[in-house]
Chain A
Amino acid sequence: GEDVEQSLFLSVREGDSSVINCTYTDSSSTYLYWYKQEPGAGLQLLTYIFSNMDMKQDQRLTVLLNKKDKHLSLRIADTQTGDSAIYFCALPRGGYQKVTFGTGTKLQVIP
């Protein structure tokens, strides 16, 4: 099955940029997703990128996709304390809108 790997933890200072990385094994996905889980809450879709794109920018968020290396990253500019959360990359797998989630990266923002 699909393997989706992320580093477990990232710590940044408020105002710096954060880069969260994700590597995957299956290259047939049409969409690749980033979800955010705030403390005590479920996951919420943050952004996504089509597989025919290399980059997508959405305000402070930049998603980069390197299909050759099967690498996805999420950059958060001017990181704020409200960005502290767990971030999951996710790829579609099989039918019925099933998704494989990465292991999740916990982002800690230091004031």
Chain B
Amino acid sequence: DVKVTQSSRYLVKRTGEKVFLECVQDMDHENMFWYRQDPGLGLRLIYFSYDVKMKEKGDIPEGYSVSREKKERFSLILESASTNQTSMYLCASSLPGQGNYEQYFGPGTRLTVT
């Protein structure tokens, strides 16, 4: 079974802090994604990566950056956390290929910025 793990289930940070969210997958997937989930808005794509050191902006990249130094690990960085970044953050991974767009998700990190 594919396993996607996230470093923390719950995180509380102060405004202005630098925040690191880590995601690790164990199935050698090329593609990895970071989403944030807010009620009534569904999942919105922040950044994705299709290979080591390769990254692309998603729909809402402002205030975030990412790092992918190893294939299995994809980090989301909040350079200076703000209260409007309080949210549930979900990491996902997938294999490249024709047609099959199934993504495998981690359990999520609920981040509160005070």
Contacts and interface: CB of A to CB of B under 8 A. Distances in A.
Contact of B42 (A33, A88, A92): A88
A101 B59 CA distance: 12
Contacts of B50: 96
Interface string B38-65: 0011110100101000001011000000
B94 interface: yes
B96 interface: yes
Interface residues of A, number: 25
Given A41-B108, A42-B107, A92-B101, A97 B96 contact: yes
B42 A104 contact: yes
A30 interface: yes
A42 B56 contact: no
Contact of A97 (B42, B43, B103): B103
Contact of A43 (B41, B45, B56, B90): B90
Tell me which of B56, B94, B102, B108 has the highest count of chain A C-beta atoms within 10 A of its own C-beta: B102
A40 B43 CA distance: 15
Nearest to A50: B99
A56 to B, nearest CB: 15
